[in-house]
Amino acid sequence: MSFYKKAYLNGKIVPIEEAGVLVSSPTFRYGAAVFEGLGAYWNASQNKKYVLSLEEHCWRLLESMKMIRFEHSYTIETLKSSVLELLKAENYEEDVHILQSAFLEGEGGMTAKSPTGLAVIARGRTRSSGFEDGFSCKISSWTRITDNSMPPRVKCVANYQNGRLAQLEASTDGYDYAILLNQRGKVAEGPGACVMVIRNGTCITPPVTGDILESITRKCLITILEKEMNIPVVEREVDRTELYIADEVLLCGTLYEVTPVVEIDRLPVRDRKPGEITRALQQRYLALARGEDKAYPEWRTEV
């Protein structure tokens, strides 16, 4: 795994060592920061790099800043250029994972009207063995946060303590990953990925009103499934036991892309091997992300 070398910080490219916030800032004290994780994909045959769904991610960051009541003057073009500027400066010739953050600078209390800073960092992506072999998952004893507590559709740093606790529990108990239920006892999502279930030729996934992130990757996969693979997608509440009897289960998100789930609570998902639909979805998603397939050009922004 490559390490961070540079950062975009408030309009400048700086060495990573110079990109920091005060320990007295609302960001450090209260987790007053929102972020986006983005993926950039290297196409060696074209000698080009593409950022996937750049504009959608930047719009979602603006929405998060609005909901968390940050005062700022950032535009969609500023946010997009911050990502592209860093990627040009880093000049990676590999797939890259990008973290774009807006945060409260300066000093102040919980409700301080602090200046809003903007930072972007990126490093080469490595994929876990689970991308090929599949994850073993545990239904967490922790409950997913709700829209009336710390709304999951806001990608707020503080929200991710919920998923961190679930993942620590799963790892301690010998699993690769956690799946959280919401307060109604229905399947929500993983600590950083949405859940999709394949059963009887249909894809079932929890709705955006089920205390999940409004995932951009999930939206892309729904398009691929319905328009290209002729697999209907139903967005509805999902019982935990539906996971036990599914034909295939997969996790999706910018970081996890399309990751198979082969075991849940020590029960096998079919034969404990990634399913055919999941494999096909992986291949299609990566081909589109890298521009090997020219469909959906609006999904890709060339660096």
Total domain count, the chain: 2
Does residue 93 sit in the same domain as residue 171? no
Do both 105 and 154 map to the same domain? no
pLDDT at 108: 76
pLDDT tens-digit readout, 256-279? 999 999 999 999 999 999 999 999
pLDDT digits (tens, 9 = 90+) for 14-24: 999 999 999 99
- Residues 118 and 243 both lie in one domain: no
Range of the domain at 117: 6-124
User: Are 273 and 143 in a shared domain?
Assistant: yes
Mean pLDDT calculated for residue range 249-256 = 97
State both tokens at 171.
């790892």
Which pLDDT band holds residue 128 (cuts at 50, 70, 90)?
Answer: confident
Please return the burial class of 93, using the count of CB atoms within 10 Å of its CB with bins 0-12, 13-18 and 19+.
Answer: exposed
Of 56, 90, 124, the one marking the end of a domain is 124
DSSP assigned state of 147: T
- Is residue 112 scored above 80 in pLDDT? no
221 within domain boundaries: yes
Identify whether residues 77 and 135 lie together within a single domain.
no
Same domain, 152 and 44: no
Asked if the model's pLDDT at residue 2 lies above 90, the reply is: no
Does a structural domain hold residue 72?
yes
Q: Are residues 140 and 90 in the same domain?
A: no
Q: Is residue 302 part of a domain?
A: no
Task: With respect to residue 46, please indicate whether it lies within any of the assigned structural domains.
Answer: yes
Q: Which of 64, 91, 124 is the last residue of a domain?
A: 124
Q: What is the pLDDT of residue 60?
A: 97
Tell me if residue 166 falls in helix, strand or coil.
Answer: helix
CATH of the domain at 19: 3.30.470.10
* Residue 187 DSSP label: B
What is the CA angle 143-203-290, rounded to 5? Answer: 95
- The model's confidence at residue 297, banded by pLDDT at 50, 70 and 90, is very high
pLDDT score at 194: 98
> Which of residues 103, 124, 145 is at a domain's end?
124
Decide if 1 is inside a domain.
no
Instruction: Say if 96 falls within a structural domain.
Output: yes
Mean of pLDDT over the chain: 95
| 75 contacts: CB under 8 Å, gap ≥ 6 | none
Residue 106 — pLDDT band, cuts 50, 70, 90? confident
Residues 182-236 pLDDT 10s: 999 999 999 999 999 999 999 999 999 999 999 999 999 999 999 999 999 999 9
Strands annotated E in the chain = 6-9, 12-15, 33-43, 48-52, 96-104, 116-124, 135-143, 177-181, 194-199, 202-205, 233-235, 248-253, 257-264, 267-268, 300-302
Does 298 fall in a domain?
no
Same domain, 139 and 260: yes
